Chains A and B, each alone.
Chain A
Amino acid sequence: MPKTTAFHSRLEPLNETKVWKNWSGFLVAPQFKYSLTNEYYAIRSSVSLLDTSPLFKYRISGIDSVRLLERIMSRDIKRCKPGAAQYTVWSDEKGFVIQDGVILRTNEFEFFLTAGEPTLRYFNSIAREMKLEDVTVEDVSEDFGILALQGPHAHNVISQLTQDATDLKYFEAARARLCETEVIISRTGYTGDLGYEIWVPTNNALTVWDALMTAGEGYNIAPIGTTALKMARVEAGLLLMGVDFDSSRFAWVDAQRETAIELGWSWMFRNLDKDDRDFIGRAAIEAEIKNKTSRWKTVGLEIDWHSYEAVHLDAGILPPKNDLYRESTMSIYRRTEIPWDYAGYATSFLFSSLLRKPIAIAKLPLDLTETGTEVDLEVSVIRKPVNVLAKVSSLPFFNPERKTAPMGGGK
C-alpha cells in the first residue's frame, strides 16, 4: 500500500476528484479540481501550493562534503556559495546523466539535496572510494516534507509568516523560522514563476500547511496537483526525468542514455577549461564538447497554430486543446522531398493556454537546432498520422520578470 505524505490529511478533503496516484510510493493528487486549466492558472495568476514531499531528500555535511560533491556533481559545487541553491546533475563515467536535482547550501559544510530516485548508497560508495573521513550523507526523506509555494502572489503570502524569505534572490536559500518551526526556504521551483520551496520538519508539517493556506486565502491560494505543475514546467522549459530523459543507471543501452550537453545544459560547463575539477564523467564530457559528438540537442518546439488548426478542421473535427498535456513520444521529420524523413522526437507536449498555442520539448540532431528551423511534428488526427509545421525555439517558452525580480520592496 502506498504511504502518505505528512500533508496528506489536509490534502485529502481538498481533492475534488478523489483520484490519487503513486509517486515514489506515496499518494499524490494528479489534480485537485476537475478543471486542470483552472488549477494551472493558480501558478500564473494567483498562487499555488504543492506537496513535493515524495522527492528523496539528503543532507550532506562535514568538512569533506564539498570534496565529495565536487567529485559527484557535473556542475561546479564551489559556485554554490553558502546561502545559495544550485540546479545540478550527476553523470556516469561515460558522461551520461544519472540524475538531476536542486541542492541547497545552508552553510560552509552543509547541503540539502532533492532527487527523483534514491542515491544514498551511490553517494556513500563514492565517499568510501575517495576515502573521505569527514562527510556524512543522511537520507532525510522522511524527516522533512517539502511545499512549493509558486505564483505571482507567493511573496505576498510567505511574507505574512516570515521576513526571512523577502531578501532571498532567485536561487538563494536560508534557514528560517516559520510558525515557530525551523524550516529551510529557497527561492526555487519547478514552475518558472515567482516562488519558494519550503523544507518543513515532518512533525510540524500541518502547522505550516495551515498557516500558508490561511495567509494565502485572500490571494485565492489553491492546492495544485502534479499535472498542473508539469504543464507549467513545460512552459518553463524544465526537463523531467522519466519523461524527457531517463537515468543512465538502469538503462540497457546508450541509446536510452543522454549527456548533460544533449539535454541542453552545456552552460554548466562554460568554465570547464578554467577549472581542474576531477568530477565523474569529465573526460567524456570534454571529449563530447571537443569532438562535437552530441547526438541530439534538446530544444523547444513551437507548433504553428494555423497548421495545427488546419489538419484538424480539414478532417472535420476541432483541434484538441483544453487540458492537453502529453508525455508520449512524438516523431519529428525533416521538411524535405523525402516523405517521413525521420529527424528526432518530442517528449513533452502541451497546449499552452497561456501562450495560446501548442508547444513541445524535443530532441533534434544538431543541424536542425537553430532557432526558427522548420520541422514537421507528427500528430494523430482521427487515428491517422499527420504532420504539422513546427519551429525550433529556445527554452524557456515563458520567463516572467517576477521569477527573478527582487522582492525587497514588500507588497
Chain B
Amino acid sequence: MSNSNNYDAIVIGGGHNGLVNAAYLAKSGLKTLVLERRHLVGGAAITEELVPGFKFTTFSYAISLMRPDIVQDLRLADHGMMVLPLVNTFQPGFNGEYLLLGADADANFHEIARHSREDAESIRDLSHLIDRVCFALKPLMDNIPPNAMSDDPAELAAMAGLKDYMAGLEPDVRAMIDKFVNCSAAEILEEYFESDLVKALIASSGIIGSKVGPRSKGSGLVWLFHKMGEYDGIFGEWGFHKGGNGGFTEVLAKAVVSFGGTILTDADVETVIYEDSVATGVRLANGEEYHAQTVVSALDPRRTFTQLVASDDLPESLIKAIGKYKFQGTAAKVNFALSDLPNFPGLENRKDIYMGFTNLGPSIDYLEEAFADCEAGRYSKKPFLDCCVQSTIDPDMTPPGKHIMSCFVMYAPYHLSESDWDTERENLGDVVQATIEDFFPGFGSLILHREIVTPLDIERIVGLTEGNIFAGELFADQMFLNRPAPGWNQYRTPIDGYYQCGSGTHPGGCVIGGPGKLAAQQILGDLQRKEG
C-alpha cells in the first residue's frame, strides 16, 4: 500500500455534515480525507444547472438551523457564506383569501387581524414563548448529549445535570416543552388561534419531512425542531444561501481544503476495514483502500451500522434498535424553471409575495386529508407544498427575468401500496402542478422545465434510506438520548476508531452541521485521551 493512501482521518460521505466534520478534524491538524460517492459534494445540499442558466436546488432548498458557532469556528464567512434573508411568507387560502407576513411585527399584526384580532395578539405571546423555549434548549443542541445507558460516573453526573437543568427552567417554558413533546401541532394551535389560515400556516412546520399529520402526536416536536434555527440571532428565521444550498456546501468544501483536508469525489466506499473491533481504513467499490485510525461515517444509521460494517460484528441490541429506527420518507420535490412569476388573483404583479416561502396548505383539514392519503400508502391528491421562488431573492439562480421555483411536496410515502415510484413520477408532477394551478391560475403556461424528485430518487441519488430527508424521523424516541439508538448517541460505535456524524445523530436533520461538529469534538477528545 502506498503512503499516499494513509491519512489520520477518513470521512465517508461529502454531505454537509461530513464536510463540517472533516473541516473540524483538518483544522485540528489531522490529515483528513473526505470520500464522496458522487461526482460532487453536498449530499442533499446541492445546486445543479439542469437547464442552461437555471440553477436547481434539487433537494434541500433553504437554510436556518446551521449552528452559528460552526460558522465562526470554520470561518465560513471568509469562504463566501452568504445567507440571504427571506422577506415574506405567503399563505394563500381558499376563495382568494391569503396571509402575507413580513419582517415588520406591526404590519403582521394588522395582516393577521384581518382574519382574527385575537390571533394577531396571540401570535406575539406564542412567538415569545417559543423563543424562550428555543433559548432554553440551545445548550442541548450545541453539546454532546449524555449517554443514558452508561453507568460511567461522568455520564451519570451528566444525566443528573440534565435533569436538574430541565427542572430549573421556568415553569411556563418547561410546560411548553412538554406540550411540544406530547401534543400535536394542531392541539397546541387550537389553544392560541381561531383562524384556520393562521393555524395551517404554523402547523405546516410540524409535518415537514415527517410521517405525521398536524393532528398526530409528534407534529409538535417537528414544529419545535424547525424553530430552533437562528438567522442573525432570530429563532426560526430562514434564508436562501447565495447560489442555493449547493453554494453553501461549496463554501464548506473550501473550508475543508483551507484547513489542509482532501476531498475525493467518485469514491464509493464499500466497506470499513476493521480488525478485532478496531477500524483501520476503508475499501472502495473499485478495490482501492485508504487507511486511517479514525473513520467517520456521515451516512445514515442503517448504512453506518448494517452496510459499511457487518451487523454480525455489532451488539445485537444495537442492530435491533437500528432495525426499528424509522426512516419512512414522506416527501418529494418538484422543481420548475419558469418564464415568469405566477399570478395570484388580487395580487397581480407582486414580486414581493414570492420573496420567501409560499405555503400551499390552507387549512388543518387540508393538511390532514393530505396525510390520510399517506396513511393509505398513496401520495396526496391535494398535497401540501412549500414553495420558494429563489430567483426573486438571488438573481444569479436564473437568466435575467426568468425564475426558478422549488416545491417541497408532502406527502409522498416511500412505500406506495398500489404502485411504484418509477411509474408514478410524472403523475406526481401533474398533481403538484394542478395544485399550484388551483391557487395560481395560468401557472402551467409559465413552465419551461419540470424536475421531479421522488422519495425513491432521494434514496438512489443522495443515499438517504427510504428518502427520509432527516436521515431518520425526528420523533421523540429517535432524538437526543436515542439518536440513532440508546447508548450510541455520542457519535461512537462499537468499533474503536469508527464514528458516525450524519443527520441520523444528535441534533438531527436539516442543514444544521451540529452532528458533524459534535462528532468531531468527540473524536478529538478520544484521540487526546488515547494519547494522554
Instruction: Give the distance to chain A from B442, nearest Cβ to Cβ, in Å.
Output: 20
Whether B527 is near chain A, meaning CB under 8 Å from some CB there, is no
Asked whether, in the complex, the Cβ of A33 is within 8 Å of the Cβ of B77, the reply is no
Asked whether, in the complex, the Cβ of A153 is within 8 Å of the Cβ of B77, the reply is no
Give every chain A residue within 8 A of B232 (Cβ-Cβ): 37, 321-323, 351, 353
Asked whether, in the complex, the Cβ of A35 is within 8 Å of the Cβ of B401, the reply is no
CA distance A35 to B138 in the complex (A): 25
The residue from A34, A220, A356 contacting B103, defined by CB atoms under 8 A apart: A34
Whether A305 is near chain B, meaning CB under 8 Å from some CB there, is yes
Give every chain B residue within 8 A of A356 (Cβ-Cβ): 68, 71-72, 76-77, 81
CA distance A35 to B135 in the complex (A): 23
Stretch at the interface among B82-90, B358-366, B461-469: B82-90
Whether A255 is near chain B, meaning CB under 8 Å from some CB there, is no
Instruction: Give the distance to chain A from B475, nearest Cβ to Cβ, in Å.
Output: 28
Whether A87 is near chain B, meaning CB under 8 Å from some CB there, is no
Stretch at the interface among B23-31, B290-298, B392-400: B392-400
Asked whether, in the complex, the Cβ of B87 is within 8 Å of the Cβ of A33, the reply is yes
Known: A220-B395, A305-B72, A354-B77. A318 touches B82 (CB 8 A): no
The residue from B71, B84, B131, B399 contacting A45, defined by CB atoms under 8 A apart: B84
Known: A33-B103, A318-B135. A357 touches B85 (CB 8 A): no
Q: Which residue of B lies closest to A152 (CB)?
A: B396
Whether A44 is near chain B, meaning CB under 8 Å from some CB there, is yes
Give every chain A residue within 8 A of B395 (Cβ-Cβ): 45-46, 153, 218-220
Whether A41 is near chain B, meaning CB under 8 Å from some CB there, is yes
Known: A321-B232, A357-B72. A35 touches B77 (CB 8 A): no
CA distance A275 to B104 in the complex (A): 56
Asked whether, in the complex, the Cβ of A37 is within 8 Å of the Cβ of B85, the reply is yes
Give every chain B residue within 8 A of A44 (Cβ-Cβ): 82
Whether B175 is near chain A, meaning CB under 8 Å from some CB there, is no
Asked whether, in the complex, the Cβ of B85 is within 8 Å of the Cβ of A217, the reply is no
Instruction: Give the distance to chain B from A308, nearest Cβ to Cβ, in Å.
Output: 10
Whether B157 is near chain A, meaning CB under 8 Å from some CB there, is no
Whether A204 is near chain B, meaning CB under 8 Å from some CB there, is no
Please report which residues of chain B, range 85-100, place their CB below 8 angstroms from some CB of chain A when the two chains form the complex.
Answer: 85-87
Residue of A305, A322, A355 with most partner-chain B CB within 10 A: A322
Give every chain A residue within 8 A of B68 (Cβ-Cβ): 305, 309, 356
The contact sample of 26 A-B pairs, CB cut-off 8 A, is A35-B87, A37-B85, A37-B232, A38-B84, A38-B86, A41-B82, A41-B84, A45-B395, A217-B400, A217-B401, A218-B400, A220-B393, A313-B138, A317-B135, A319-B233, A321-B234, A322-B232, A322-B234, A323-B232, A351-B232, A351-B233, A353-B83, A355-B77, A356-B76, A356-B77, A357-B72
Interface residues of A (CB under 8 A from B): 17, 33-35, 37-38, 41, 44-46, 153, 156, 217-220, 305-306, 309, 313, 316-323, 351, 353-357
Interface residues of B (CB under 8 A from A): 68-69, 71-72, 76-77, 81-87, 102-104, 107, 131, 135, 138, 230-235, 237, 242, 355, 391-396, 399-402
